[in-house]
Amino acid sequence: MDWSKSKNVLIFALLITNIILLFFVYRDQRAIGDGTLTRSFVQDTIKMLEEKDIHIDAKIPRRNIKLNSLSVEFEKKTPEELNQGFFDNKGTVLRVAKDLIKMDYKNESISIVNNRRILYENRRKSPGGKAPSKEESLNMVQEFLRTRDYPDGDMILTFYKKEKDQAFLEYSKTYEEVLVESSYTNFVVDKDGVRSMDRLWLNVIEISNNDIALASAPKALLSFLDQPKYYHRRIETLDPCYYFNPEEQGYVEDLTKARQGRAIPAWRVQFQDGEKVVIDIY
Amino acid sequence: MKESIKTFVLLTLSISLIFLASLVWVKFPKKPESPSVNGSEFSSTYLEREILSPKKLIVNFSHGEHTLFYEIEPMWKEYYNWMEDFLVLLGDEDNQIEKITQEEYLKAQDEMSLVFVYDYPWSTRILGNLLNVEKPKEKNTGAFKIETLYLPVKGGFIILINENKELIKVSIKHGKFQEIEERLEDLYDSKRYRNYENFWEKYKVLTNVYVPKLTVTLPRPVIYRNELAKMEKTYRNDLAERFLGRDIDYIREIIEDSGTTYVYEARNLRFHDDGLIEYQNLEEFESKEENLFVSLQTALDFIATRTGINTGLVLSQVERISTKGNSGYRLDFNLKENDKEVLLQKDPLEHYMSIEVYNQNVAKFQFLYRKAMDTNAPKDPAAPILEDQAFSPSGVLEQNVPMFYPNGTPDGDVLLELIQRVEDVDVIYVDPGREEEMTTLLPAWKIKMDTGTYIFHMGNGEFLMER
């Protein structure tokens, strides 16, 4: 028996069978795959959005994204802690209403809304002149946070703009490099330092064990087509995020007293003018 | 090509063949869906039975010999058979139908017979549908709504009391109901029943209301507890998953000081810390024609699969509702303990459970989740009720005479006058409400009169509320 010849025949037969099987596997994969992740679907999405004058500068991910859900709680600081951190305990605390506490010291004031949102304002005279540069603004914010006992390890700058003599900076929370919405710390800065801070922050309590598959990015973007308020806009970034926003997500009356909950994976779209939109579809 | 290379290629191709073939042909079994999410482990069968069952069964042996049962479940099979026979007989076109007087009906109580009294006047059509037995022909008696059903052992006729309190006698060809006679004779011989008498026998008034002949039996003490207050997070999550039909990781959860809200798509669920569960589905649907049979089945299935409750409910009220051009029903339920209805006393809610259902669509659901504690509840040591000192229905009326005459008690036998106005009497429990996390249920008399339904404490005769 010629073993060499037999091997040749077998190799040839196996090769043909493998090719046929490969074809079936490819066909099955295509059938069960997410059709919205194909190159052509992404191109069609871009075209359809452009017809509504919505332009996308961000890269549209073409893969399935899975994230866990997070158990989060609103950052809560007592008036005493804030008085200590901001005014060295010299501020005057006034309980204006059940959900509003005010604190004053010289030109500065703090309002605590619903026990979770903090509004700081410095009413000093405007120095005029040019707005500080991005680097200067970042340094001023960093210093402001450091001296008032706010860690900045989980903060990421998501928007910056200059207008007249002021710079505007917007930070969001990140958890393992993914943004956690809707948390924010917004600053207005001038040459003399921070003029105001508006902060609503979330802390992560625990992470779930199960992955949640997000709807594909093109599918999420297509939801803009029937919302005229987003027409004639330019999308700057498109990222997966964790989303917890009781007022937006709840269907029930007053959720201003929410203290904790579950943040669900969603898509975060930021327009060129800084507006953020979260799309939470699966 | 070298032989060793050929061997290597051959081996590689063979392995690749096995791998590709497994991808194409071998299908690994899928992990079954968690039953807790789709709720298939809970069935509404028992609930259906219970809702359709009479609230009480009166057994007449002879004049002065009667007994009464609230517990119908052990004789469900017999009840089903009797109802099947009854519905078939009622469908006969040759039946003769006539209205009878109250006196004739009262005299019929002296014959060996069964009397079923219902919470809700079910139509024979719905009973037929739900019991899955042949429904009576429309043109005949299909439209009857039965509040009370009298079945004589000897057969020959049936007496119905419909929702308008009309006494209707239906003569039937034969109608010796299966096994009834034997069973009743056995029960009578055993003497293992509590003796009841009716107001007709006791006071000679034209009222067919049954009360215990000798002493009043107090219902077993029960302590109710707010079931949500101490519920572990795992159980809460499981409950939320059942209501919203999705894994908890996909459900938004918003925790406040007074409760927790869960949101998934257009459905939201709220667990209040005081024990109230509220569910709402804002999805659009279409239901142009209301159908009580379909709506009831949807409601019971929803209750069983979402709350896991498959027994211990009583249907208290049915109301037609409409919204956005859709027609449906609001069904109100109360809880039952030891086969007796429990009513809420000092609570913003009138019923423990309320569901708005439009055929196959449940739009709203509300439930004050209170449950009897597992342990045998001790009698309240602060206010022990002694059985021999418990008030009888006439006793509570006597104690509360002035309540019925706000302009002054008239002369004459006012108690007898009040007794004449009584339409029905039941033993119930009263729950003081959700203000306290744990409450001892009060044993009470529910007395239905021509002017309303009045609830009195069995222990001290005190008037508790009017319904």
Task: Please tell me whether the overall predicted TM-score, pTM, comes out greater than 0.90 for this model.
Answer: no
Contact residues on chain B for A4, CB-CB shorter than 8 A: 3, 6
> Residue written as tokens 């009309």?
B166
- ipTM of the modeled complex: 0.77
Distance CA A1, CA B11 (A): 20
CB contact under 8 A, B270 and A252: yes
* Residue in the structure block whose two tokens are 């009294």: B117
Are A68 and B249 an interchain contact pair (Cβ–Cβ within 8 Å)? Answer: yes
* Rounded Cα distance, B354 and B336, in Å: 15
What does DSSP assign to residue B55? S
Note every long-range contact of B426-429, with CB atoms under 8 Å and residues 24 or more positions apart, other chains counting: B426/B55, B426/B56, B426/B340, B426/B341, B427/B70, B427/B219, B427/B340, B427/B458, B428/B340, B428/B341, B428/B342, B428/B343, B428/B455, B429/B219, B429/B222, B429/B337, B429/B340, B429/B341, B429/B342, B429/B343
The closest of B166, B170, B167, B147 to B158, measured between CA atoms, is B170
Predicted confidence pLDDT, tens digits, chain B (467 residues): 678 888 899 999 999 989 888 877 765 555 444 444 444 456 788 888 888 889 999 999 999 999 999 888 777 788 887 788 777 777 777 778 889 999 999 999 999 998 999 988 888 888 887 777 665 555 454 567 889 999 888 888 889 888 888 898 988 876 666 567 888 888 889 888 889 999 999 999 998 899 988 878 788 889 999 989 888 989 999 999 999 999 998 898 999 888 999 999 889 999 999 999 999 999 999 888 888 989 999 999 999 999 999 889 999 999 999 988 899 999 999 999 999 999 999 888 999 999 999 999 999 999 999 999 876 555 444 455 566 678 999 999 999 999 999 888 888 889 999 999 999 999 999 998 888 888 899 999 999 999 999 999 998 899 999 98
Rounded Cα distance, B362 and B292, in Å: 13
A14 has a chain B CB within 8 A of its CB:
yes
Whether residue B149 contacts residue B160, with contact meaning beta carbons closer than 8 Å, is answered with yes
**B275, B226 Cβ separation under 8 angstroms:** yes
> For testing the chain A interface, which of B26, B241, B255 should be mutated: the one with the most A CBs within 10 Å?
B255
A210 near B CB under 8 A: yes
Chain-chain contact of B247 with A210 (C-beta, under 8 angstroms): yes
Which has the closest alpha carbon to A187: A160, A209, A206, A207?
Answer: A160
- Of all residues in chain A, the one with the smallest CA distance to B270 is A252
Q: What span, in angstroms and rounded, lies between the C-alpha atoms of A155 and B337?
A: 56
A257·B257 Cβ contact <8 A: yes
Distance of alpha carbon A61 from alpha carbon A216, whole angstroms: 8
CB contact under 8 A, B10 and A15: no
CB contact under 8 A, A259 and B257: yes
Interface test with A, best of B256, B279, B364 (most A CBs within 10 A): B256
Phi, psi for B278 (deg, rounded to 5): -125, 130
Taking the CA atoms of residue B236, residue B242, residue B243 and residue B245 in that order, the dihedral angle to the nearest 10 degrees is 130
User: Which strands make up the sheet holding B370-372, listed edge to edge?
Assistant: B370-372, B223-226, B438-440
CA of B327, closest CA in chain A: separation in Å? 23
A255:B254 CB<8 A: yes
CA distance B351 to chain A (A): 22
- The number of beta carbons lying within 10 Å of the beta carbon of residue A92 is 11
Q: Cis bond leading into A208, ω under 30°? A: no
Q: Which residue among B3, B16, B268 sits closest to A4, beta carbon to beta carbon?
A: B3
Dihedral sign of CA atoms A23, A26, A32, A34 in order: negative
